[in-house]
Amino acid sequence: MRRLGALLAWAGAACAPAANPAPSATASHGTRAAAAEPPVGSEGEGTAQPPPDSGPSEPVYVAVRGVGVLKLEGDRFAPVFETKSGLVDLALGPSGTLFASYYDVGTVAVRAGTVRSIARAAYSQLSVSADDDIWATPDPFAWAVHHYDGTRWSTVKRREEFSGQFDDNKLNGLVAQGGAVWVSSWNGLFRGVGRNYEKVELGEGTGSRPPWQLAAQGERLLARFESGWFGHDSGDWRKLSWPRTASIQRISAAGAAVGVDFERRSIVRGDVDGRVATIDVASAGLVTDVTIDERGRAWVAGEYALAVLDPRGRVLASYEPGTLAGVTGRIQRVVVYRHGPARLPLEVAAVARELRGSVKLYRSGRPLSGALVELCPSALGCARASWKRTATSASDGTFRIREVPPGDFVLHVALPAGLPDCATPFTQSPGRAVSVAKECTGPPGTPCDLSTVLVCLPFELPPKR
């Protein structure tokens, strides 16, 4: 690295949304038309009724942590690709083929119920123009631009070929659009045709740094700069109405866009050139992904629930843990092919559990009484959680938490003041992950026993003997 000060200044801006990074945006296919009616109101206005069955019924897929990819079939989600590996990226092609990449598996193509491996590498920044025209990168650090022609992957451009100020050049975004491939890196914004890549001059008002995120809308490139979103038309940059703090996850063929505003923990919907509304989907919790179908419905995956909104931003359905048949785990990503299902799935009754456990101090092994035990979906604590349950540990350290749905949660313990075991600043009490559906396998109505929760652990645990 040439200058540490420049690097730190760059990283502070380029990584601003990294608290909850957005997946790569999906390009819309087809001719851009007038935007759908902009959303009004919010979830608080009441739940809207689902629209009547109309038009074709097309697939919706969800990626579930520790499970793999599921497809909605009627009222139930069925597995189409099972893996416990970590998700890297998920994208739909214009023909309906699903492309999924996982760390320990690589990249697969799913079509008509058949799964086919297309790469050992777990590709990210998947930009799919056709089943035989895919652009992506195999590594977010030592990255390169790769192309898939339906038979094999080839390296088109390596990271070191995008030269500039920074030796350790990082990738911000990659998207194929209008017969070209756009690459945004710390060393600039580049446009490539074939193997020829040229640096693109940034427009007035965009700022001094290349864009953080790229998206495509028909033949137009959309870029998120430090000063806001801009559209690139015929060589000119024009500022858009889309909020600077929000990503663009998908733009429908009708021009309706959706994204995630990570600063406001909400979704954004509207026309990138016109009216935009911010919608708080409280029932979903912290939003992790959002997409939109050609009926104008927004599908919102949150840390707690999956919500579906109508074109005006009203909630059609909110599926809490255990109420979607076939889904046992947290939904990380959701993708919908064109119109999506004609009818939303019916909810099933969730089987609630009672969780039992105990809290002990690590150093002395003594039970901890009077501690506040909180259960919620967030690993960062329950202060702003969309859903939570609480209990207080008894004199013997035991606690009970009732009416817990079969979701993925984190158990947090708030420590009483003045504990000698916790007096040093070199101790920690990390949250304990709880997957109710996987850990509570007894008959309905039977309590679920959790292992002992240890608190005030040293930063580095000694090796087990």
Nearest to 336 by CA among 309, 297, 306, 303: 297
Residue in 99, 100, 110, 103 with CA at minimum distance from that of residue 84: 103
* β strands within 310-348, DSSP E: 315-319, 331-336
Amino acid 234: pLDDT? 81
DSSP assignment of 189-229, as one string? EEEEETTEEEEPPPPTTS-SS--SEEEEETTEEEEEETTEE
Res 423: pLDDT: 82
pTM of the model: 0.86
What confidence score (pLDDT) does residue 262 get? 80
**What integer pLDDT is reported at residue 465 of this predicted model?**
56
For the beta carbon of residue 33, count every other beta carbon within 10 angstroms.
12
The pLDDT value recorded for residue 18 is: 36
pLDDT of residue 7: 36
CA distances from 344 to 1, 60, 179, 309 (A): 52, 10, 36, 11
What sign has the CA pseudo-torsion 421, 423, 426, 427?
positive
Residue 8 has φ and ψ, to the nearest 5°, of: -65, -40
CA-closest candidate to residue 334, choices 108, 71, 133: 71
pLDDT in tens, the chain (465 residues): 333 333 333 333 333 333 333 444 443 333 223 333 444 444 443 444 445 456 789 999 999 999 999 999 999 999 999 999 999 999 999 999 999 999 999 999 999 989 999 999 999 999 999 999 999 999 988 899 999 999 999 999 999 999 999 999 999 999 999 899 999 999 999 999 999 999 999 999 999 999 999 999 988 999 999 999 999 988 899 999 999 999 999 999 999 999 999 877 799 999 999 999 999 999 899 999 999 999 999 999 999 999 999 999 999 999 999 999 999 999 999 999 999 999 999 999 999 999 999 999 998 999 999 999 999 999 989 998 889 999 999 999 999 999 999 999 999 999 988 888 888 888 888 899 999 988 998 888 899 999 899 999 987 766 665
Express each pLDDT in 54-102 by its tens digit: 678 999 999 999 999 999 999 999 999 999 999 999 999 999 999 999 9
Which of 263, 267, 232 shows the shortest CA–CA distance to 245? Answer: 263
DSSP secondary structure of 141-178: SS-EEEEE-SS-EEEEEEGGGS-SS-SSPPEEEEEEET
Q: Which domains occur in the chain, in start order?
A: 4-336 (2.130.10.10), 353-458 (2.60.40.10)
Buried b (16+ CB within 10 A) or exposed e, 187-209: bbbbbbeeeebeebebbeebeeb
